[in-house]
Structure 1
């Protein structure tokens, strides 16, 4: 099936829902889904951004701006996940706990709006990764249209580009809690430190990156082609990150990789 036919079929499946809520983050996956839902359902599609402590402020602003630019029917809902102690404890079930709670909030909004179906941007490639939150989605009946259509990340980027979505090549993002090792409590202070550190590196021209925080240490993950630049600017970077509260700064020689904090789960099972 070619891309045009695939998207047409997706819109038809969305249209069958009558009314649909899209869990929207401003990333390429949820943006493509929200655009298709807008085309299929108009204002009967509602995109909801959950504003939690783990969402970088810049990401929130960009998501809201893009939603307005795209003409989406959207709203921002406060989601205070740090009020939940099981989440703060930061066990390997963290993502499951968060997803369960976020779905409960989405369902309450959907009930108020008379919406019977909630969809997200899960895709084929996501199924290759450790995602305990996906189990919560299955339990709660969340619909995954992109996965159902057999679309992977490259398919989604290609479709978003064809539709003129400005986020078609946006680097992948993840909640700030994913930067903190399991077992280390998640605090507002640490989340803000990580956010500020990543914003600083982005302002210096680095692209896909993560700042992993372990106590007061910052481990920087960059794409391989950016490592030389980081080393050349090492003194400046270290000084600025120390000013944020980190005591020591290191560059991960393995480079950026999604879900690197989960590696300890696999090594501990060997």
Structure 2
């Protein structure tokens, strides 16, 4: 099935818009082929501020109205415990809130940006989507991440080469309780590195310290700007270290 055929068959519905490349393409298709679609962004402590800004920009460009749903997953013990199934519990909360808001707005169909490259065995959150009957048009149409980026570029979407960005909770080791201060420290540290010019990296919490993961091509810049890098990170963490195993670039 072609993506255009999906929206021809479903002229209205609710779209979970994260600000990333996958859901951005869905917003574009909904704007071009759909008649009555609304995008929804769930605002939580797990998303950095730029994701909401990106979602708003995408919705404007695609001509799709956007509703921001406020939610605090830290109110759930199952989420803050940060066990192996944390993503399942978090997704269940997020998409339950989305489905409730969408239903209140008159929409019965809810879709998300899961694509054909996403491995359900490695993503417990996908089980929550299935339980809540969330449709994934990119996956249903057999569109991989590479396909999504190619189509996004042709559509003129600024997200076509945006690196994948997992939620801030993934920076904290499984079994370590999630707290608002820890999530804020990660967000501010990653923003500081972004301002320095680093791209496609992660700042991961290790006790009271931070472990920075960079792609191999960014190692020379890290070495050349070592003092500044350490100074910035120590504004948020007691210690900082560079992972000598290069990070694999995001798809």
Q: TM-score, normalised by structure 1?
A: 0.89
Q: Are residue 19 (structure 1) and residue 12 (structure 2) matched?
A: yes
Q: Are residue 145 (structure 1) and residue 137 (structure 2) matched?
A: yes
CA-based RMSD: 1.6
Determine the structure 2 residue equivalent to 1:167.
Answer: 159
- Deviations along 1:26-80, one digit per CA (max 9) or x if unpaired, are 11100001110121223x1111000011010122122212322332211111011
Contact 1:50 1:79 in 2 (8 A): yes
Contact 1:221 1:257 in 2 (8 A): no
Determine the structure 2 residue equivalent to 1:177.
Answer: 169
Q: TM-score, normalised by structure 2?
A: 0.95
Q: Are residue 250 (structure 1) and residue 238 (structure 2) matched?
A: no
Aligned residue pair count:
250
Give the 3 Å change call, closer, same or farther, for CA 128–223 of structure 1 in structure 2: farther
Determine the structure 1 residue equivalent to 2:178.
Answer: 186
Determine the structure 1 residue equivalent to 2:62.
Answer: 70
Q: Which of the residues 192, 204, 226 maps onto 1:234?
A: 226
Q: Secondary structure at the match of 1:125?
A: coil
Q: Which of the residues 45, 50, 57 maps onto 1:58?
A: 50
Q: Secondary structure at the match of 1:172?
A: coil
Instruction: Say which structure is richer in helix.
Output: 1
- Deviations along 1:80-101, one digit per CA (max 9) or x if unpaired, are 1111111011001110001111
Segments of 5+ residues of structure 2 without an aligned counterpart are none
Contact 2:120 2:126 in 1 (8 A): no
